[in-house]
Amino acid sequence: MSVSAMTPSGAGDHLEFIRRAGQTTRRAIAEHTGLSRSVVAQTVSELIAQGLVIEHRLGAAAVSAAAVSAAAVSAASAASAASAGRARATRGRPTAVLQLARQHGVIVACDIGHRHITVAVADLHGHELVEQSIHFPVDEGSAQTFAATHSLVMQLLDQARSTLAEVCGFGISLPFPITTGRASGRASVRAPANLAGWHGTNLADAAPAGLSCPVIIDNDANFGAWGERMFGGTTAIDNLLYVKLSDGIGAGLIVNGTLLAGATGLGGEMGHIEVQPGGALCRCGRRGCLEAVIAECLPDYHRAGLRVGRAVAQLCAFVDPEVVVLGGRIGSVGEPLLAGVREALAEFSQDATVSVVVRSAAWGTRSELMGIIDRTLAAAWASDRIAGRHGTRESAAAYDRRSA
């Protein structure tokens, strides 16, 4: 069944805005979407009738808080939303507040690194139900990796008292560049030459057979950047450079609130930039790549930070980020790695980027998983999986049993 058959036009934007705000009003939705109040009112009424959104009345103080929450989602409407909340608070009249109804279904998030597989199952409001990590030799090949991932997914779905049929979104990160397939029409993995088990990988095999829902597949650093943007501070960061330092090195770039992947999806692959001609042999087969040079520096984290910082300084000169975040197993160690990066930035950056904030990932090695969960939730709520097959409201008792 199509989205248009189940939900009114623009419903996905409405649902996503309500999800991120937690609680909001019709007025805030209209300000965010730019639609007229009558169109928003009609759309919201249909979403309520379908059991996707619930409405309740709040007193003045609570409505003001809801307006501020909505404003945090849409900075452009912050002043008007907060003003609306204050005006209603002055009048003291109960106001209709909207929030998502509890829905029957889950999303699955899979974070795959070079040496690990982590799977989490969350409900449709982002509350994590179960999670498990296993050590696994991912570099040996995609067939073994996907089989192990699917097995772990089924185990965790069982623990969460759910089934594959109830999965409304499936997200998976890979530790390799992923091309968009813009020219060929098919996305693909760009694995190093020495990892023959990943050559010719069909990304359709990444999701379990029989799954019927949106599937989000991306490079791990891109997911990490999104996780830090959305959950790394008190407000979303619109210009951020995320550098993942682990068994490999990659970067995710957020510019004006948008994740940039480049024309073919290979943007951010800084690990194989040549920084030392004739230097250490890299696993890609070349010499002097940043990844190989950093590996030689360890365990001298300050020296490694100087090398990373010099490369980051060049990127900062082009994109001028507000924040540089170091994530991954190595990037999350803190000082003296951070000190080395800051020293290099101070020496090699342009004047405009000297003041950039450099910090460790707020979520440590979990930034990727947070990004996967959020982007998968967004895809699920924008699809007809929830509106079509899960449009009936789940009873509070059933929801509480699932979350217990």
Enumerate domains of the chain plus CATH numbers.
3-100 (1.10.10), 106-222+369-403 (3.30.420.40), 234-361 (3.30.420.40)
- Reported confidence tier of residue 386, pLDDT bands at 50, 70, 90: confident
Contact 319, 284 (CB under 8 A): no
Average pLDDT of the chain to the nearest whole number: 84
Q: Which of 194-198, 211-215, 380-384 has the lowest mean pLDDT?
A: 380-384
Range with top average pLDDT, 34-43, 145-154, 310-319, 353-362: 145-154
**Cα-based angle 25, 29, 32 (whole degrees, multiple of 5):** 140
Q: Give yes or no for residue 138 having a pLDDT over 90.
A: yes
Q: Which of 102-106, 205-209, 219-223 has the lowest mean pLDDT?
A: 102-106
Q: Which of 12-16, 35-39, 67-71 has the lowest mean pLDDT?
A: 67-71
Rounded to an integer, the average pLDDT of 181-190 is 71
Q: Give yes or no for residue 25 having a pLDDT over 50.
A: yes
What's the pLDDT at 353? 61
54 three-state secondary structure? strand
What's the pLDDT at 267? 84
Contact 370, 109 (CB under 8 A): no
274 three-state secondary structure? strand
Considering only CA atoms, which of 302, 321, 313, 176 is closest in space to residue 250?
176
Q: Which of 14-23, 85-94, 100-109, 116-125 has the lowest mean pLDDT?
A: 85-94
Q: Which residue is it, tokens 């699955």?
A: 108
Q: Which residue has the higher pLDDT, 396 or 185?
A: 185
281-296 pLDDT per residue, tens: 998 888 999 999 999 9
What's the pLDDT at 354? 64
399's tokens: 């929801």
Report the distance separating Cα 402 and Cα 404, nearest Å.
6
Q: Are strands 95-100 and 128-135 parallel, antiparallel or unpaired?
A: unpaired
Rounded to an integer, the average pLDDT of 26-54 is 92
Q: Residue-wise over 62-81: b if at least 16 C-beta within 10 A, else e?
A: bbbbbbbbbbbbbeebbeeb
Q: Are strands 53-58 and 95-100 parallel, antiparallel or unpaired?
A: antiparallel
- Reported confidence tier of residue 183, pLDDT bands at 50, 70, 90: low
Q: First and final CA of the chain: distance in angstroms?
A: 32
What's the pLDDT at 263? 83
Q: Give yes or no for residue 317 having a pLDDT over 80.
A: yes
139-179 pLDDT per residue, tens: 999 999 999 999 999 999 999 999 999 999 999 999 998 98
Range with top average pLDDT, 50-64, 125-139, 309-323: 125-139
What's the pLDDT at 16? 86
Give the CB-side neighbour count of residue 384, counting CA atoms within 13 A: 11
